[in-house]
Amino acid sequence: MRRLTRTVAAATLATALALVSACSSDSGKAEENSGVGASLEQVTYLTSFGNFGRDSYAWVAKEKGFFKDAGFDVEIKPGQGTGAVIQTIVGGQAHFGPIDLTGGLLQLGNGDAKDFVAVAAIQQRTMAAIATVEGTGINTPKDLEGKKLADTPGSVVRNLFPTYARMAGIDYTKVTWVNGEAQTLMGTLASGSVDGIGQFVVGQPTIEAVTKKKAVLLPYSNVMQDLYGNVLITSKQYASEKPESVKKFTEALLKGLEYALANPQEAAEILAKNAEAVNPAAAAAELQLMAGYVRSSNSGTALGTLDSGRVAKSIAILRGAGALKSDLTPDQIIDFNLTPQA
């Protein structure tokens, strides 16, 4: 009887161990299939221009786990405008970042940059503008003549200014530009040492918060139609070697963009947690203003999509204004195999 009891106990123990082993094995397979515990790809992302509300969607994608779910561990660094973002990504110090598409066309068409490719639209319309405040005597484009403006050397606002000036009917040689940095431009404007700065139109709330004056904006889109705003870029090498990674990263970033636009106050607070000197109220207001540029007024356009015909029109505008030294095709700057589909 004692021998039988031992036999039953041993059999019971063996069965229990087998069940535990099977469950552990199935759990491991499920974990492996779900991607949990898998190594994350280290990626560096640049913002377009400092850390403002307009760029908070990247921090949202990180905070909400969108990047991690897509298989990425992302380090976010502040960018310094279109030219600098391109150089940093092509140089291998970063993997992704947004640039103004028109600025990218100028860089590529004039031989100032190469080996980068756009993979998604962030804004369907350009947000480039000259920004000032009441009291400077600037209310129309013509008022810019004889004035001093500040911006980073690689900013699309500055590089596109001669084209904007021609189309707005002003003499761009009568405007003086001085160098500035992304995070200090608004302070420079507030100090009165310059008459205006290069800025995105959504910067209005932050300008007013910093300067304590009413902002005056001269949007480039008033004289240049069909121009896209920011687009997400990567290097041609990365796009060629890791096309699926590009698609996954883009999807995660656009998910962050969509969430930020739907929850501007939360997105602003996430940004403020991760970047110094952020005014959450101004950042939230920037996002609310940006929504109309991200979601095309033509409606029905899926988030992130790029249209070859519209890009061709942008190229034609720049060529007609004498801003491009060489002709381009949309395929030379955009990889339509990697962009979100309409």
DSSP H stretches of helix in the chain? 2-34, 56-63, 66-69, 82-90, 101-109, 156-168, 185-191, 204-211, 236-241, 243-262, 264-274, 280-294, 308-320
Q: What pLDDT score was predicted for residue 28?
A: 44
Give the number of other CB atoms < 10 A from CB of residue 156. Answer: 32
What residues does each domain of the chain span?
41-123+227-332, 128-222
Q: What is the DSSP string of 196-213?
A: EEEEEGGGHHHHHHHHSS
User: pTM score > 0.85 for this model?
Assistant: no
pLDDT beneath 70, residues of the chain: 1-38, 296-300
Q: What is the DSSP string of 244-302?
A: HHHHHHHHHHHHHHHHHHHSHHHHHHHHHHHSTT--HHHHHHHHHHHHHHHS-TT--PP
Question: HSE-up of 75 (CA within 13 Å, CB side)?
Answer: 8
Q: What pLDDT score was predicted for residue 245?
A: 98
- Match domain 128-222 to its CATH number in 2.30.42.10, 3.40.190.10, 3.20.20.60, 3.30.420.40: 3.40.190.10
**Per-residue pLDDT tens for 137-195?**
999 999 999 999 999 987 889 988 998 999 999 999 999 999 998 889 999 999 999 99
Q: What pLDDT score was predicted for residue 277?
A: 84
Q: What pLDDT score was predicted for residue 136?
A: 96
CATH 2.30.30.90 fits 41-123+227-332, yes or no: no
Judge contact between 274 and 294, C-beta under 8 A: no
